[in-house]
Amino acid sequence: MRKPEFVYVSYIETTPERLWEALTSSDFTKRYWWNTSVVSDWKVGSPFSLVLNGQTTDVSEILEADRPRRLSYSFHHILNEAARKERPSRVTFVIEPHGKLVKLTLTHEDFEDGSVILDGISKGWPAILSSLKSMLESGTALAIPAAALDIEGLK
C-alpha cells in the first residue's frame, strides 16, 4: 500500500522570488495563514517554528533551503498531545517557473501510521495556499474562518 502523503499543486501569477518571500516572511504569512508567524534563519539544520498569536504550535528544523526553488522543513505539532507524540513529518515546497506563472507544489509526507495530524493538514493546506494565491495576485488574502475547516483541535 502507498504511504499516505498530501500533495497540492497551484499556479500563481507571481515570481519565484516573491513566492519564496511569501513562504518565509512572517509579514506575509500572518496575512494568509491565520496570523501565523514563521520563525527561522532559513539555513539547513536551523530551528523552525510556527507561532500563532504568541503561542508556539510547531517546532522543527530546516531540511533544505535553495532560494527561490526548494524549501523543506520538518513539521512537528506540539499543542495537541497525540500529535506531539508522533515523529516529525516533512513539508517540501517546490517552486518552478511555468511560462509567465509560478507552479507551486507542496508535498507533506512521512507520517506515522494512523497519524492524527494527517486529517488536519489535508484540510488546512488547501485553505492556506488558496489564501496565499489570492494575496499574491489580488493583494488581499482570504478571510476563511479557521473553524469552518472542521479540523480536530482547532474547534
Partner 1 sequence: MSHSVPSFVYTTYIETSAEKLWHALTDGDFTERYWFGHRVASDWKVGSSYKFARQGTGSVEGKVLISDPPKRLAYTWHPCSADAKRERTSRVTFDLEPRGKVIKLTVTHDNLDEGGKTLRDISGGWPMVIASLKSLLETGRALPADLPSCAAEKTDA
Q: Which residue among 85, 99, 113, 155 contacts partner 1 (CB under 8 A)? A: 99
Binding-site residue total for partner 1 (CB under 8 A)? 26
Binding status of residue 92 toward partner 1 by CB under 8 A: no
Q: What is the DSSP letter of 139?
A: S
C-alpha cell at 43: 539555513
Q: Mark the segment that binds partner 1 (CB under 8 A) among 19-27, 37-45, 77-85, 92-100.
A: 92-100
According to the binding rule CB under 8 A, does residue 127 interact with partner 1?
A: yes
Give CA–CA dist 148/40, Å, rounded. 29
> Which of 128, 149, 142, 105 shows the shortest CA–CA distance to 9?
105
The answer to whether 114 contacts partner 1 (rule: CB under 8 A) is no
Of 72, 70, 86, the C-alpha closest to 119 is: 86
Residue written as cell 508522533?
86
Q: Footprint of partner 1 on this chain (CB under 8 A)? A: 1, 4, 8-13, 98-101, 126-127, 130-131, 133-134, 137-138, 140, 142-145, 148
